[in-house]
Every structure is written in structure tokens, then in C-alpha cells.
Amino acid sequence: MHELGVVFYIVRDVKKVAEENNVEKVHSVTIQLGEVSGVVFELLEDCWNWAAKKEPILAGAKLICEQVDAITYCEDCQQTYPTVQYGKVCPHCKSERTYLLQGNEFSIKEIEVV
């Protein structure tokens, strides 16, 4: 379960930002999670709830997830398409000369404080 390790990094980064800005209490953390990032939000949320209880500044803070859809680009026909639906083969021209444009990212978008 690598979600727990990911949560440890989120907690570390949020605490650092909070300390730099003299924040005493975090209300919520919004993340952007790519559709094909390999992170399962439900598991991440469970780990977050466990870890946040252990940090006074995060106790009760909500983890909010915004999904970033996976989009692939075809080098042959210069079109994009939904990665999950079609995979590596372009549905427009059947080329395999494709690459992922977005959808594997993971980032902290927003920290809401009380």
C-alpha cells in the first residue's frame, strides 16, 4: 500500500507550508490526482484520516480530491483522446506513436486554513 507513503509526504509538505505561514489549524487539503497515477483515492483517504489524527494541526482536516483525466496525444495524427478508454492505440488513426499528456500527476492544489 504505497498510499500511506504518499500521505506521509502530503503531511510533511502541508505542515511545512503551515509553519512557514504561521497557521495553527488546517481545515482541508485539496489534491489533484491523475486518473492513471496508480494512487487509489479511497485508500489514500483512509490513510489520510489515520495520519491526520496524529498531527494536532491536521486533526479533523478533510482531504479533497480533484481527478485529472488521462489524455493521450498521437504523434501521427496530432489528436488527443481519453487514455483509459483507448489505451496506447490512437482511436483516430490506429497509431501506437502516442504519449500521455496528462493524468499521471499528483499534486497539492490548495490548503484551506481555519
Q: Is residue 53 part of a domain?
A: yes
Answer yes or no: is 44 within a domain.
Answer: yes
Q: Is residue 16 part of a domain?
A: no
Name the band, by pLDDT with cuts 50, 70 and 90, for residue 2. Answer: confident
13-46 confidence digits (pLDDT tens): 999 999 999 999 999 999 999 999 999 999 999 9
Domain boundaries, position 73: 3-8+26-113
Q: What is the pLDDT of residues 69-101, one digit of tens each?
A: 999 999 999 999 999 999 999 999 999 999 999
Q: Residue 1 pLDDT > 60, yes or no?
A: no
**Domain count of the fold of the chain:** 1
19 within some domain: no
CATH label of the domain that carries residue 68: 3.30.2320.80
Look at residue 13 and tell me if it is in a domain: no
Q: Long-range CB contacts (< 8 A, 24+ apart) of 72-78? A: 72/98, 72/99, 72/100, 72/101, 73/98, 73/99, 73/100, 73/101, 74/98, 75/99
Domain assignment present for residue 15? The answer is: no
Mean pLDDT for 48-68 is 96
